[in-house]
Amino acid sequence: MAILNYCRQPLCIAFLSFFGFILWIIYAADSGANNVFLRIVDLVPYGDKVAHVLLYGCLALLLNLLLKRKVLIVKSINFQLGSLLVLGFAALEELSQGFFATRNLDAWDLFADVLGVYLAALLVTCKKGAH
């Protein structure tokens, strides 16, 4: 029951909604469906890479905030848990594209995902009032 109360928080609703949006985009791309967002991305130079940075960066930002900036320490290196989870999801999603005729397995897409997550991690670790 506590999880239901937790997921009623605005941040949790935002994260779940945005994650659902990403899953819908992935489904549309995997199935070759005609999707307005995919068409818009195709119209913008490097739109696919920009979309990867924005989508996975926003997802990591929301999840890191939702998890209250929880950090895992591995060999004295701090990793934000939300960032690691999003990177794992992004890597699995990129690798899964090799199984779909409508998709292209692209290392640059994964690089864009990592860049977005990295930028989100920087935002989360910025101190209030720092310029």
CA distance 16 to 46: 27
Give the mean pLDDT of the chain: 89
Per-residue pLDDT band at 1 (split at 50, 70, 90): very low
**Mind listing the pLDDT tens digit for each residue in 70-108?**
999 988 888 999 999 999 999 999 999 989 888 888 999
Distance CA(122)–CA(80), nearest Å, equals 10
pLDDT at 3: 57
What is the model's pTM? 0.88
Closest CA to 91 of 118, 77, 64, 112: 112
Angle at which helices 81-96 and 107-125 cross, to 10°:
170
Q: In the prediction, which pLDDT does 2 show?
A: 54
Residue 104: predicted pLDDT:
86
